[in-house]
Structure 1
Amino acid sequence: MPDVRTGAPEVSVVICVYTEDRWGDILAAVASVRDQSYPALETLLVVDHNPALLRRLAKTYGDDGAGAEEGAQRVRVLANAGPRGLSAGRNTGVAAAAGEVIAFLDDDAVAERDWLLHFAEGYADPRVMAVGGRTQPVWASRRRPAWFPEEFDWVVGCSYRGLPPGRVAVRNVLGGNASFRRSGLEAVGGFASGIGRDGQRLPLGGEETELCIRLTRALPDAVLLIDDRSVIHHRVPPARERFRYFRTRAYAEGLSKALVARSVGTREGLASERRYTTRVLPAGVARGLRDALLGRPGGAGRAGAIVAGVAAAAGGYALGTLRARRGASSFAVAKLEAPTDDEVADGRWAPDGPSGAPGGRRAPDGASACEGAGG
């Protein structure tokens, strides 16, 4: 366990899960956390409104919510205490976590052994409020589709061509491979609900962008970093290697960016995107066309995919902006309220229903959150 007296922060790892279809991935993700060279204080599995998965994970890890095992082996299984979706799940994990730093790992990814070590190193500077890492795709077909441009790897939840190398200050980290100082999250209320994925709708995103901008507004001296030595490997299933998903995800990103821009303003909300669309993407199109002229496979396809992706995102942004102006799209930030140890231990940490506060509601006396989730 890290010795906090030396300045090394204790880190809680939150993995949000929602489907038994990813059972093997979930087990692999947890195993990679347990194998870290810098031990995690705990791993929290937050289950998004799936009672069967909640029970199965609790049985597998022998957990009643308080964590049956100590040290790096400690795994806690919790129900999402807010509305369906990734943002509320993350907030549930933050509220229940004990660490000074909270790291997030996707449920279909595995972390390299020094993942947490390089995160922790970043927090030696007290101004640092977030540290993100590099996410590598693991293609189901064992190789990148020839037409799929590296500039659009964010479509499959991975680091993309155009991100700066090394350990550098950034506007925002990418949520599936990121960590935050607890005090920063508490200062701004956590992730906004109503934006990001919920497992049912379009594959939206943008929640970490909105949070990071809100964080630096509230704490002007805050520093957010990406350290590309903090590496995870993210599985890309066959369906996400197809152009149909590529186009849909780009469109959904446009919708999400419209919400973010509506919340924080277009200057901050789209600052990184302007550089990306005016410098990174034109260079990508040029490379694709050059490769096509040289007879290299996939060049024309990559150039065309970049153009199609931009068009889809622009269409989503236009529609999202119109909806936001009409008040049809909105999201909210609620106070992060941690449960007491007794409430977590005896199962009284229950979903809160329609209000969506990350703190959740307390189950009636004698009731269990897990039992309630089971129907």
Structure 2
Amino acid sequence: MSTPVTSPPPVGAGTTRTSVAVVVCTYTLDRFEETVAAAGSLLDQDLVPDEVVVVVDHHEELRARLREQLPSQIRVVASAGPRGLSGARNTGVAATTADVVLFLDDDAVADAGWVSAMLTPFTDDGVVGVAGWAEPAWAEPGPPRWFPAAFLWVVGCSYEGLPADGSRVRNPIGAAMGFRRDAVMAAGGFSAAMGRVGSLPVGCEETEMAIRVAEALPEGQILLARGATVLHRVGAPRRSLRYFVRRCYWEGVSKAVVSAHVGSGAALETERSYVARTLPAAAGRGVLDALRGDLTGLGRSCAVTLGLAATGTGYLRGRATGRRAVPVPVAAVGEAA
């Protein structure tokens, strides 16, 4: 049985400006320099956030090193939730008090105008969430020529086929997203049954939580802000075809878990359009590129087919296992902070 979620009073209550916090979650020393850069980019904003919190997922050495390295304006806390990204994000929400909570991945760097661009849509009271734009920062020698832009979600980036700026979306990409605190509380926080734990390439915790936000606040909207840009690092291991197939497969498994909890209608609403329109266009464009002399276009077309097949296989496996996502309340930080 879940514990009731309580929300602390917002920073700046009684003022006209919406207060904003940014949460960065991290779990490994392998990303130490990237985490320092991610957190540092938040202090170089045109609009510096009221709070910046780095949540360390059950790694005391990493927490100690970050506390030594990061400026005093940045608070470093230990995750008080279950191991994994969802528990860390819930800890970050509980550790902050601002009206709006933004999330930045530990291997992403925010443009100087990111916070202000993310905050702008929230001037509309009907907006409960904002999806920022994540551009890939590929490791050398750059993106594989076989990699289709329609599958940039595989590496945690904004992908071909997303709607126009300001459009309503079902869910944001986790590398650069934000929600009103009240919306997170109404939904009960991120589910510990969803999302990444360590390096296992699963996901969909943002999708599942955003769907629960829509259920709790049906009049609310999540909007896409293409101008709210971050650079999301894509390391060398994620350039491989093996990672591509594995990540697609686990995305399918994750989508099946979401479907088991909220129903396939909500869970697959965006995917139906993506499969029916975006992927055929991407595959066709690869063939046309090949006919024009760029033979790597055939590789991109084949990758579209392979990615779809792997995702579908994962979805069928996930449906067969029958796992369900259970919302976990936003955890109190307490002494762990």
TM over 0.5: yes
Q: Contact 2:21–2:50 at 8 Å: present in 1 too?
A: yes
1:94 lines up with 2:99 in the alignment? no
Cα offset, 1:119, TM superposition? 1.1
Matches of 1:305 and 1:6 in 2, distance apart?
A: 51
Q: How many residues are treated as equivalent by the alignment?
A: 327
Structure 2: segments with no counterpart, 5+ residues: 1-10
Match of 1:28 in 2: 37
Cα offset, 1:337, TM superposition? 4.8
Matches of 1:142 and 1:184 in 2, distance apart?
A: 41
Cα offset, 1:60, TM superposition? 2.2
Q: Which structure 2 residues correspond to residues 282-321 of structure 1 after superposition, within 5 A?
A: 282-321=280-319
Structure 1 vs Structure 2: percent identity of aligned residues? 43
Match 1:45 to one of 47, 51, 54? 54
Match of 2:151 in 1: 152
Paired amino acid for 2:93? V
Q: Which string of whole-angstrom CA distances, capped at 9 and with x for unpartnered residues, describes residues 245-286 of structure 1?
A: 000000000000000111111111101000000100001000
Cα offset, 1:336, TM superposition? 2.3
Q: Which structure 2 residues correspond to residues 282-361 of structure 1 after superposition, within 5 A?
A: 282-324=280-322, 329-339=323-333, 343=334, 348-349=335-336
Distance 1:142 1:114, change over 3 A: farther
Matches of 1:3 and 1:46 in 2, distance apart?
A: 23
1:175 lines up with 2:174 in the alignment? yes
Matches of 1:4 and 1:33 in 2, distance apart?
A: 23
Matches of 2:53 and 2:80 in 1, distance apart?
A: 13
Paired amino acid for 2:188? G
Q: Which structure 2 residues correspond to residues 150-229 of structure 1 after superposition, within 5 A?
A: 150-200=149-199, 202-229=200-227
Q: Contact 1:8–1:120 at 8 Å: present in 2 too?
A: no
Paired amino acid for 2:47? Y
Match 1:263 to one of 261, 264, 280? 261
Cα offset, 1:334, TM superposition? 2.3
Paired amino acid for 2:193? G
Paired amino acid for 1:306? V
Q: Contact 2:127–2:221 at 8 Å: present in 1 too?
A: yes
1:274 lines up with 2:272 in the alignment? yes
Match of 1:362 in 2: none
Distance 1:232 1:4, change over 3 A: farther
Cα offset, 1:95, TM superposition? 0.7
Match of 2:102 in 1: 103
Cα offset, 1:331, TM superposition? 3.0
Match 2:229 to one of 228, 231, 235? 231
Q: Which structure 2 residues correspond to residues 110-149 of structure 1 after superposition, within 5 A?
A: 110-149=109-148
Matches of 2:60 and 2:218 in 1, distance apart?
A: 41
Paired amino acid for 1:186? M
Structure number, greater radius of gyration = 1
Q: Contact 2:134–2:158 at 8 Å: present in 1 too?
A: yes
TM-score (norm 1): 0.84
Q: Which string of whole-angstrom CA distances, capped at 9 and with x for unpartnered residues, describes residues 108-165 of structure 1?
A: 0100010010111111111111011110001102432110000000000000000012
Structure 1: segments with no counterpart, 5+ residues: 63-68, 350-368, 370-375
Q: What RMSD in Å do the two structures reach over aligned CA positions? A: 1.5
Cα offset, 1:298, TM superposition? 1.4
Matches of 2:12 and 2:18 in 1, distance apart?
A: 8
Matches of 2:246 and 2:263 in 1, distance apart?
A: 25
Q: Contact 2:42–2:110 at 8 Å: present in 1 too?
A: yes
1:9 lines up with 2:18 in the alignment? yes
Indicate the SS of the match to 1:135: strand
Q: Which string of whole-angstrom CA distances, capped at 9 and with x for unpartnered residues, describes residues 151-197 of structure 1?
A: 00000000000001212111111111100100111111111112110
Paired amino acid for 1:333? P
Indicate the SS of the match to 1:215: helix
Q: Which string of whole-angstrom CA distances, capped at 9 and with x for unpartnered residues, describes residues 52-88 of structure 1?
A: 10111122237xxxxxx4xxxx211111111110001
Indicate the SS of the match to 2:167: strand
Match of 2:243 in 1: 245
Match of 1:361 in 2: none
Distance 1:5 1:118, change over 3 A: farther
Cα offset, 1:90, TM superposition? 0.2
